[in-house]
Structure 1
């Protein structure tokens, strides 16, 4: 039987620094001539409020405090998870729609974190994906929100890995799959990448079609998932797409998948767009091949 909500709040501190230094590295980013982003993220801390717990699993709300604002997440986990899935949702996804999913993964032995990234209109502040605004920031040397979000995803990976001591996978659906792909490419400590109903943004191709060169082309390239998928190998890339997806064409998903190196799998699932129980079953089965049932 479900117990009453547990009003427990505690702090988990995690420093995300480059190398072994006596002081945290200064936050910075760079984009090379191939459009590949590198980031050095500022240290973060987290507050966790346990919402529910029983003998099988725990659900909690975790707020990550960064130098540029708080990022809200929700976490479900068994006592000893075999791995963690850090899930970046697509537009319009709410945590309420993932309640059963969080229980499903915990029951299978995995922790599942739902991340309210910046600008989704949820509990984390920010503006919706806006490459024009972000390019203006890029030109001025300020942090584009897109890059801040990549740091958020990487910082949460470090927090989860430190806490549970198990592999963490970057997982994303639709637009969230795009952010997750970039994060998995930028942060080599992710165990792998799972993309659901996702594809490139198409920004790089649009800039090229208009004759764009130099910084604007470099910036557009830095946002594209396909820029990073080849660098994820030898970590796995698992992608799921429905053949009749009404929002992101199946052929676009296949095109992104083609940029990845082995090991990789592309799976057609039953449904329409985004993560659903069929994807959950298939993903848990893939994980079981590594971690057992």
Structure 2
């Protein structure tokens, strides 16, 4: 949970329904659907969601809140830090096991710089949102769903990100960027690639899953390859253009090799930027500083 200084201000609770996120009252939303073409590219039709927001803390600089996306397949928890009039928003997808508690200072830093920062607790990441973590077991379960024409959890997670983008854009009327670290960068790539409403993409310590290459080496064909291709980030990173792509990778990354990050970057189209950063794996203060510095130029006041 976010750290709240309750002695500074009483906790305010506000439950609201955001129409921009597809609020439909008591009406049951339609179901999310998908299609995957012969080349393995995913197309999603995401059912509208309702939302509820709990304000945790507010002052003259920013407001922190917990926003729940009520989807047709369970609740997805997010946390937002935002100034009153943000210039742009970041939809952040965490890496495996990343919890909101590790991002408190980061959220305040972005909000203080003029940007809204939304942490999405994706399905199965071990936080407050139910689901199974990305693993060999989940791949097998999702493939079984795919074969039956049912909605894989992986696809549902992409719909969650698309719904969160709509919520943010509707709330503030500003550009929303998909950003993810490690595994989260992979989910964010797919969302930004198939979701033209995202303003751009930031990937940190990320790459392809390597699943498609693995099944091809094993001699699989047909639906197996089509499904593997549909969840591979490299299928979509080239689709983000002409929106900007930033890739951050540390040379000393012990989990996803630096060369893998470079290969992933090579699949992106212009405009794109590759930046090395100090550290090893995952988002850190050096990455934050570089992003804020880059965007300070993009969103600088115009005379």
Q: Same fold (TM over 0.5)?
A: yes
On the 8 A contact 2:177/2:202 being kept in 1, the answer is yes
1:128 shift after superposition = 1.1
Query: 1:73 — aligned with what?
Result: 78
Aligned pairs for 1:49-64 (under 5 A) are 49-64=54-69
On the 8 A contact 2:181/2:282 being kept in 1, the answer is yes
Q: Quote the Cα distance in structure 1 between the aligned partners of 2:210 and 2:299.
A: 36
Q: Quote the Cα distance in structure 1 between the aligned partners of 2:155 and 2:223.
A: 16
Q: Quote the Cα distance in structure 2 between the aligned partners of 1:267 and 1:2.
A: 39
1:286 shift after superposition = 1.2
1:13 shift after superposition = 3.0
On the 8 A contact 2:29/2:72 being kept in 1, the answer is no
Q: Quote the Cα distance in structure 1 between the aligned partners of 2:300 and 2:284.
A: 22
Query: 1:275 — aligned with what?
Result: 283
Query: 1:8 — aligned with what?
Result: 14
Mapped pair 1:169 → 2:174 = no
1:3 shift after superposition = 2.1
Q: Quote the Cα distance in structure 1 between the aligned partners of 2:212 and 2:57.
A: 44
Mapped pair 1:40 → 2:48 = no
1:4 shift after superposition = 2.6
Mapped pair 1:113 → 2:113 = no
2:105 to 93, 100, 108: 100
**SS of 1:292's equivalent?**
coil
**Range with bigger deviation, 79-88 or 27-36:** 27-36
Q: Quote the Cα distance in structure 2 between the aligned partners of 1:16 and 1:247.
A: 39
Q: Quote the Cα distance in structure 1 between the aligned partners of 2:188 and 2:286.
A: 20
Aligned pairs for 1:192-207 (under 5 A) are 192-207=200-215
Query: 2:155 — aligned with what?
Result: 147
Query: 1:223 — aligned with what?
Result: 231
Q: Quote the Cα distance in structure 1 between the aligned partners of 2:235 and 2:22.
A: 24
Query: 1:20 — aligned with what?
Result: none
Displaced runs of 4 or more, over 6 A: none
On the 8 A contact 2:21/2:51 being kept in 1, the answer is no
Cα RMSD, aligned residues only:
1.6
Query: 1:84 — aligned with what?
Result: 89
The gaps in structure 2 that reach 5 residues or longer are: 1-6
Aligned length: 288
